[in-house]
Chains A and B, each alone.
Chain A
Amino acid sequence: MSISVRNLSKRFGNFLALDDVSVEVGEGELLALLGPSGSGKTTLLRVIAGLESADSGSVLYDDRDMTRRSARERNVGFCFQHYALFRHMNVFENIAFGLRVRKHKGQVVNDRVNELLRLVRLENLAKRYPAQLSGGQRQRVALARALAIQPRVLLLDEPFGALDAKVRQELRQWLRRLHDEIHMTSVFVTHDQEEAFEVADRVVVMNQGKIEQAGTPADVFERPANPFVMDFLGNVNVFHGRVQNGKAHAGGLEVDYPAYSADVSRPATVYVRPHELEIDEVPLGRTSLEAQVVRTNPTGSAVKVALVAVEFGIELQVELSFQRYAELRLATGDTVYVSPRKATVFVPEGAALDYAI
């Protein structure tokens, strides 16, 4: 089943949680709503579920208008951030709840719950109470409980937010596999871009109640629509400069920017991700900056080098491969030349790439 959200707005007192938001979720798609806290992503999810009502706009399942329907009628599976398991019921009864309130027969409930216990691999813990489970186990019970009612849509609010890094990683992959198995239209909310990119088919980036960009993970990461998205999706080096005649200049840097070919110079910002910067011992043409090595951190999948750009006085973050790091033999205090392999330029106010969705 597909979901269409059209022109939703929602206000809490003076706070505008959703500002004319429209989203499409395709049949069988796994969509991530990504944004910082307060961006309205959870509110959007709750409006889709019918747990919150919007001030204006509509929610459609396939082509049926569900805006005024109750959560019960919408028949969605919802996973809460802190699981919200029923503390006085054991795992079995938690999962059975949605079936019991719909007055299903005992045998039907038994079969369905046992099937779900197998799916989330908790067969042995059916008699346990939520307080006796680990965080990862609780999350799986919450998921089984949401799936028990055979929902048409699965909605997850920060599904892995309260788990530690290792369990989170495991559950992420498990969720992706589960989705590939049952192919249910799913939306999940997260503030973790890595999580969104790893799990989702498509990502919707939100900020201050608005959608900044929607697209596949590769799309959003490779072609961020605006400075907010650029900045939100991980570390980035920012240079303030100007554009003129199809080129952007920031100090010693020169970057092609064909979108602006006018003769009049305008302020612009150049964004370069740490892994898109190159370090050399000698200057390479005009597009390099002189910098001094401040510290190096060779732990992790790449070597992180912090430098200070001599001209700007700002700190730069660069990620190098171990091989390149070994070649350069960098030490604190060394003077080197930094040049971008790739850069993204944004021209504030009225420019073609700015704040387009």
Chain B
Amino acid sequence: MKPKSSLQLAPAAHRPARHDPLYVRILLIGAAVLVVGILVVIPVINVFYQAFGRGISGYFSALFGDRDTRHAILLTLIVAPTAVIMNVLFGLAAAWAIARFRFPGRTALTALIDLPFAVSPVVAGLMLVLIFGLHGYLGPWLRDHDLKIIFALPGLIIATAFVTLPFVARELIPVMEAIGSEEEVAAVSLGARPWQLFWRVTLPNIKWGLLYGVILCNARAMGEFGAVYVVSGRIDGRTFTMPLRVEKLMQEYDSPASFALASVLTLLAIVTLSVKVLVERKTRLDLAEASRLQAPGETT
């Protein structure tokens, strides 16, 4: 079958629907390469170049020799995964509700999930200060109970979780809608308990979409600056996450250390991007299979 189908494709390849002149193609491709090169490739290379400005030993001492930088790395490794876990739980619940039930306010909920994308992170941070800050609505109550949210770890986590809220839910809603509830009803009819239903039927069906959402959410959570900046109060060795620390080092004219830390974030971004491409391919396949399985009128 294979050689035959490639033979059939051959004539089509000779006659594309649009035949642009050579110079148009060179111009367009050149422009695209130029823009990506100047805006993306050169800056990324420069980050690593600057990071290794003091050599490899200088690079590692900039990363791990400084107590505050070490703490910033640790803090990000606490804040980002916690925010991701919160958003996975929220995303699953929200996607389940939106994809499976019809209820008043469903459209409003769908729109509200996107709100954190529309609101500037700085404004998001300010909103949190207005609620949890010393002079905010809950401020006096929190102070009386000796709870600290703003200028402390909980504030960083809440701010990060708010900004990255849409990622998991938005990935899951279309996947769950495409898959439908038929298999879940079948599982119920076969005697599955709610938990068994989720672990054995729903989760395996949405795993790639979920992973994709987690990856995007994590990338954004690690890099979050604006909202965290506002709620952190920037206390050295206490509330500095990696992006905040990068900026602080820059302000202190310690650009090799700043770039060294920035290179770690960049590296994470590159890893995320590659995993994303792989997972994206997997999700597409799953969605294609979902639509294939649902197509009725199959013949033997």
Contact = CB atoms under 8 A, between A and B. Distances in A.
B20 interface: no
A163 B300 CA distance: 8
Nearest to B297: A162
A161 B298 CA distance: 10
A102 interface: yes
Given A86-B183, A87-B290, A149-B191, A134 B204 contact: no
A82 B190 contact: no
Contacts of A149: 190-191
Contact of B191 (A72, A82, A85, A131): A72
B188 A51 contact: yes
A153 B238 CA distance: 65
A76 interface: yes
A163 B292 CA distance: 15
A276 B190 CA distance: 47
A72 B193 contact: yes
B191 A84 contact: no
Contacts of A72: 188, 191-193
Nearest to A138: B298
B200 interface: yes
Interface residues of A, number: 37
A105 interface: no
A128 to B, nearest CB: 13
A135 B300 contact: yes
Contacts of B185: 51, 80, 84
Closest 3 CB pairs of A and B: A135-B298, A98-B190, A84-B186
Nearest to B196: A101
Interface string A130-158: 11001111100000011011000000000
Interface string A90-120: 0000000110111000000000000000000
A141 B104 CA distance: 38
Interface in B174-220: 182-183, 185-193, 196, 200-201, 204-205
Nearest to A81: B296
Nearest to A78: B189
B193 A101 contact: yes
Per DSSP, are chain A's interface residues mostly helix, strand or loop, or mixed? mixed
Contacts of A80: 182, 185-186
Contacts of A78: 186, 189-190
A148 B192 CA distance: 14
Query: Interface size bucket, B side?
Result: 20 to 34
8 contacts: A71-B189, A87-B183, A87-B205, A101-B196, A101-B200, A135-B299, A162-B296, A163-B299
B293 A130 contact: yes
B191 A164 contact: no
B289 interface: yes
Contacts of B189: 49, 51, 71, 76-78, 146
A82 B182 contact: yes
B190 A88 contact: no
Contact of B183 (A84, A135, A138, A164): A84
B293 A75 contact: no
Interface string B91-126: 000000000000000000000000000000000000
Given A51-B185, A149-B190, A136 B300 contact: yes
B44 to A, nearest CB: 38
Contact of A101 (B191, B204, B292): B191
B289 A131 contact: yes
B294 interface: yes
A78 B200 CA distance: 19
B294 A101 contact: no
A134 B193 contact: no
Given A86-B201, A88-B204, A130-B293, A98 B298 contact: no
A306 to B, nearest CB: 30
A351 interface: no
A313 B271 CA distance: 78
Nearest to A137: B300
A134 B188 contact: no
A175 B188 CA distance: 24
A331 interface: no
Nearest to B189: A78
Given A51-B188, A82-B182, A87 B289 contact: yes
Interface in A17-51: 49, 51
A125 B292 CA distance: 20
Nearest to A148: B190
A357 interface: no
Contacts of B183: 84-87
